[in-house]
Amino acid sequence: MSMMHLFQWFDATPISKVIRDSTYIFPVVEVFHLFGLTLLLGTVTVMSLRMLGMGMRRQSVYEVARNLMPWSIGAALLTIVSGILLFLSEAMKCYGNAAFPWKMGFLLAGIVLYLLWQRRVALPNSRMSKAQLAMIAILSLVCWYGVAIAGRAIAFV
Amino acid sequence: MSLFTICQWIQNSDIGTSIRESTYVFPLVEATHVLGLAVSVGTIAIVDLRLIGAVMTDEPVTDVIEQLQPLTLGGFLVMFLSGALLFWSEAARLYPSYSYRTKFVFIFLLGINALLFHFTTYKNVDQWNNDKLTPLRARMAGWIGITFWAVVIFMGRWTAYNLK
C-alpha cells in the first residue's frame, strides 16, 4: 500500500465524509484544536522558561512541572484528537502539502522527547543538571512551536 | 465620513494593500498572531485556573500572577500588534462581520473583568493568598476569564470563515 493509497483511505472514511458534508463541524473542531494549542503552548512555554532559569523562579522546576505537565498532556490530547478529525476530512489536501510532513516530524519529535526524557522533570526524585534541563526546554520549545508554525503553514503552502 | 469609509481607506492604504498581496507577510503575521495568542491566553488560563482552584493550589496566588504577568503582557502585545496589521490589510472586509464585532465586545468585557478583579478582590489578596479555595468573586473572575477567552478564540476563528 503506497502512501497515496493510505491518504486516500483516510480521506474516504465515514467520519471524513460527515465532516466534509457539514458546514459547521470543521470550524467547530478547528476551534477546539485552537483551545488545545493555546493551553499546550502556554504551559510548555512557562515550563520551558522555568527550566531555563526564567519566569516562575519562586517555585522549583519540579513544582512547576508537576503542576503544569498534566495540563500540557490534556491539552496535547485535545489538540491531537481534534487534529485527527481535521486531518481525516482533508487527508488528500495534506498529501503533497509541503508543510504537513514538517508538522508530523515536529509532533513525533515532541512526543518522543516527552516519553523518553521530558516527563522525568515532573518526577520528585529526578536529579537533572542545569544543562540537561536547558536542553530539554529548548528542544521542547522547538518541537511544539514547530508543530504550530508548520501547522499554520499548511493553509498557505 | 462613515466608519465603513474609514475601513475602506485603511484597507486600500499602501501598507494594507502590500500586506494583503504579499505571499509571505500575511501568513507570517497570522502565525505570529496565533503564537502571541497562545502565550498570552495560555498564561491567562493558568492564572484563571489557579483562581478557580484547578492548578497550582499549593502556590500563593500572587506568585502565579506576578511571575506570569510579563509573559501575558508580552504575548498580548504581540497578539495586538499582529492583529492590528491583519485588520489593516482587511479592514473593509472585517467591518461588516458580526463575529469580528462580537470578539471585541468580549475583549472589552474581559478588560472590565480584569480591572474589577484587580481593584476589588485582589486588593486584599493577602487575606486569601494561600487558600486553595479562593473567595467567590475571585473564582467568578477566573470562570469568566476562561469562558470569555474561549468565546474570543471562537469568534476570531469564525471570522475567517465568514469573510466575503
Report which of B39, B114, B47 is spatially closest to residue B71, judged by C-alpha positions: B39
Q: How confident is the model over A109-139, as pLDDT tens digits?
A: 999 999 999 999 999 888 899 999 999 999 9
Q: pLDDT over 90 for what percent of chain A?
A: 92
Q: How confident is the model over A39-97, as pLDDT tens digits?
A: 999 999 999 999 999 999 999 999 999 999 999 999 999 999 999 999 999 999 999 89
Provide DSSP, A53-98.
Answer: T-S-TTS-HHHHHHHHHHHHHHHHHHHHHHHHHHHHHTHHHHTT-T
Tell me what pLDDT residue A157 has.
Answer: 84
The verdict on a CB contact (< 8 Å) between B39 and A41 is: yes
The verdict on a CB contact (< 8 Å) between A148 and B34 is: yes
Per-residue pLDDT band at A156 (split at 50, 70, 90) = confident
Q: How confident is the model over B116-125, as pLDDT tens digits?
A: 999 999 999 9
Which of A44, A46, A106 is the best mutation test for B, with the most CBs of B within 10 A? A46
Report chain B's mean pLDDT, rounded to a whole number.
95
CB B31 within 8 A of CB A44: no
Residue B36, exposed/middle/buried by CB under 10 A (0-12, 13-18, 19+)? buried
Which of B157, B159, B162, B163 is the best mutation test for A, with the most CBs of A within 10 A? B157
CA A10, A13, A19, A22 dihedral sign is positive
Which of B20, B21, B97, B154 is the best mutation test for A, with the most CBs of A within 10 A? B154
Q: Which residue bears the cell 465586545?
A: B105
Give the three cell numbers for residue B84. Answer: 492590528
Per-residue pLDDT band at B39 (split at 50, 70, 90) = very high
Q: How confident is the model over B49-63, as pLDDT tens digits?
A: 999 999 999 999 999
The verdict on a CB contact (< 8 Å) between B46 and A152 is: no
Closest approach of A31 to chain B, Cα-based (Å): 6
| A–B CB contacts, 8 A cutoff, strictly below | 89
Closest approach of A39 to chain B, Cα-based (Å): 5
Tell me what pLDDT residue A26 has.
Answer: 94
Reported ipTM: 0.93
Q: Does A145 touch chain B (CB under 8 A)?
A: yes
Provide DSSP, B91-118.
Answer: HHHHTT-HHHHHHHHHHHHHHHHHHHHH
Is the pLDDT at A150 greater than 70? The verdict is yes
Tell me what pLDDT residue A121 has.
Answer: 95
Residues of B in contact with A76 (CB under 8 A): none
The verdict on a CB contact (< 8 Å) between A38 and B68 is: no
- Nearest chain B residue (CA) to A49: B71
Question: CA–CA separation, B69 vs A11, rounded Å?
Answer: 44
Tell me what pLDDT residue A149 has.
Answer: 95
Per-residue pLDDT band at B145 (split at 50, 70, 90) = very high
Give the three cell numbers for residue B96. Answer: 461588516
Question: CA–CA separation, B47 vs B43, rounded Å?
Answer: 6
DSSP B24: S
Tell me what pLDDT residue B164 has.
Answer: 64
